[in-house]
Amino acid sequence: MPGLSIHSDEERVAHYRSPYKPFGILRFILALMVLVQHFCDDIAPAAIRQAVLPWAPGNVAVLGFFVISGFIVCEAYHFNYRDRPVAYFKNRLLRIVPAYWAALAVSILVHFVILHYQGHLTSLDRHNITDVHFGFKNILMNVFGIFPPVVVNVTPTQYPFIPYAWALQTEMMFYLTLFIVGFFYQHAGKYTGVPQYAWLALAGYAGIIAAGLTHIGILPRQMAYGSYFAFGGALFFVLNGERRAWLVLVPAFVQMMSHFHTYAAEDFIDLAANRPGQLLLLILILAWIVALAAARVRHTKIDKILGDHAYALYLNHYVVAVVILDCVNHASAIWLAAGLAASLALTRVMFLVAEKPFVAMRKAIRGNE
């Protein structure tokens, strides 16, 4: 998302290098932070809950995910999908959708079995789930719940079987933005004489502006995260020698901090309880991202393995917490550990079933393997 430059796209790609970025361990830790918040809120003993929840680790981790996505997707788009927006978006769909649908199917099945085995079912946020929530309309809305503008709220007839799918929809909005920019450039933009990376800069500013407009109620609240993606994308270009990318990076960071400061209380666990700690946690995550993005390291097996399983862990731990809450209903460190172990086991299975089969296909679409 840099500004204008005298270099052509071809010269810039020849100049850039794309060394391995060791984000895998960090992505896995961020997924664990989401798990920890969900588990501590419902199945952890009071002492652990009181120690963890004021930090809101899951909420902060999601913001870190958005920054990483901005970096990785802009890097991939720049190196692998120039003038190929359809291939780019097809790859993104294969990355996000099959794993989400598989996790959704498991969640729906487990919810259904618990409800009909026990006669009652309570979600993690203490909503009563009934047979009505298994109606065709609600299931269909869940299936398409990661695509804007579908919104699945908790009502007497609606229930999101993966409640944090809103974050995936936010990611999808970012992917769609880059697709639209790339498609426009492919068919019309290049005739203006403005390089593709300048159009990406406009996308970055659009995200920053959209984030600002949410504060005054002009755009939906979900658009408030545009600055996090803009920051991640601009960081990629800054670290690869595009100085004018700072013109996106700096305002994106300012908008990020503004958004974090005004994050609605209902979205943040114990928002007022440990506000400085939550900000410190976010800054530490951002610093870690910058350090890893700037690192020049060789591929490491453990980093890749953990990174490969981060998405599956993010998607599938919720249903484990539901099982413990409804079938055990006893908060203890033992069940907390058991939930973590079960989540890791389910993560492995779901990765093998719903993600690994698409790896070769995605590599073929990427076209540089």
Please tell me the distance from the alpha carbon of residue 297 to that of residue 251, in angstroms, as a whole number.
Answer: 29
pTM of the entire predicted model: 0.89
Q: With 0-12 CB in 10 A as exposed, 13-18 as middle and 19+ as buried, what is 369?
A: exposed
Q: Considering the domain boundaries, does residue 352 fall inside one?
A: yes
Quick one: pLDDT at residue 299? 66
- Nearest CA to 229 among 30, 66, 58, 72? 66
Amino acid at 234: A
Q: Considering the domain boundaries, does residue 18 fall inside one?
A: yes
| Mean predicted confidence (pLDDT) in 147-168 | 90
| Mean predicted confidence (pLDDT) in 326-332 | 81
Quick one: pLDDT at residue 11? 41
Q: Considering the domain boundaries, does residue 298 fall inside one?
A: yes
Q: Considering the domain boundaries, does residue 48 fall inside one?
A: yes
Which of these ranges, 23-37, 64-78, 116-130, has the smallest mean pLDDT? Answer: 116-130
Does 136 score more than 90 pLDDT?
yes
Quick one: pLDDT at residue 264? 57
Does 5 score more than 60 pLDDT?
no
Residue 5 near residue 244 (C-beta atoms within 8 A): yes
Percentage of residues in the chain having pLDDT higher than 90: 46
CA dihedral (136, 142, 147, 153) in degrees, to 10, reads: 110
Amino acid at 318: Y
Residue 208 near residue 226 (C-beta atoms within 8 A): yes
Q: Considering the domain boundaries, does residue 3 fall inside one?
A: no
Q: Considering the domain boundaries, does residue 4 fall inside one?
A: no
Confidence of residue 146 (pLDDT cuts 50, 70, 90): very high
Residue 16 near residue 78 (C-beta atoms within 8 A): yes
Question: What b/e sequence results for 83-108 when a residue is b if at least 16 CB atoms lie within 10 Å of its CB, and e otherwise?
Answer: ebbebbbbbbebbbbebbebbbebbb
Question: pLDDT tens for residues 14-33?
Answer: 444 456 688 999 999 999 99
Read off the tokens for 100: 């989400």
Question: pLDDT tens for residues 261-302?
Answer: 776 544 555 545 678 888 999 999 999 999 999 887 776 889
Quick one: pLDDT at residue 216? 65
CA of residue 348 relative to chain centroid, distance: 19
- 149 preceded by a cis bond (ω within 30 of 0): yes
Q: How many domains does the chain have?
A: 1
Q: Considering the domain boundaries, does residue 1 fall inside one?
A: no
Q: HSE-up of 317 (CA within 13 Å, CB side)?
A: 29
Residues 6 or more apart whose Cβ sits within 8 Å of residue 204: 1, 230, 233, 234, 248, 252
The domain containing residue 86 runs over which residues? Answer: 9-366
More confident residue, 91 or 205: 91
Which residue(s) pair with 128 in the sheet? 122
| Mean predicted confidence (pLDDT) in 294-315 | 89
Quick one: pLDDT at residue 43? 83
What is the H or E stretch that residue 167 is in? helix 165-187
Does 2 score more than 70 pLDDT?
no
More confident residue, 82 or 136: 136
Residues 6 or more apart whose Cβ sits within 8 Å of residue 282: 60, 63, 64, 260
What average pLDDT does the chain have?
Answer: 84
Question: pLDDT tens for residues 182-238?
Answer: 888 777 766 666 666 666 676 777 777 777 777 666 766 777 888 899 999 999 989
Quick one: pLDDT at residue 102? 98
Residue 82 phi/psi, 5-degree rounding, is -60, 125
Cα angle value 44/47/51 (rounded, 5°): 95
Residue 69 near residue 229 (C-beta atoms within 8 A): yes
Residue 209 near residue 229 (C-beta atoms within 8 A): no
Please tell me the distance from the alpha carbon of residue 293 to that of residue 288, in angstroms, as a whole number.
Answer: 8
Please tell me the distance from the alpha carbon of residue 130 to that of residue 201, in angstroms, as a whole number.
Answer: 47
Amino acid at 321: A
Helices 85-118 and 165-187: crossing angle in degrees, nearest 10, is 160
Residue 312 near residue 357 (C-beta atoms within 8 A): no
Q: Considering the domain boundaries, does residue 225 fall inside one?
A: yes
Does 63 score more than 80 pLDDT?
yes
Confidence of residue 369 (pLDDT cuts 50, 70, 90): very low
Residue 322 near residue 110 (C-beta atoms within 8 A): yes
Does 118 score more than 80 pLDDT?
yes
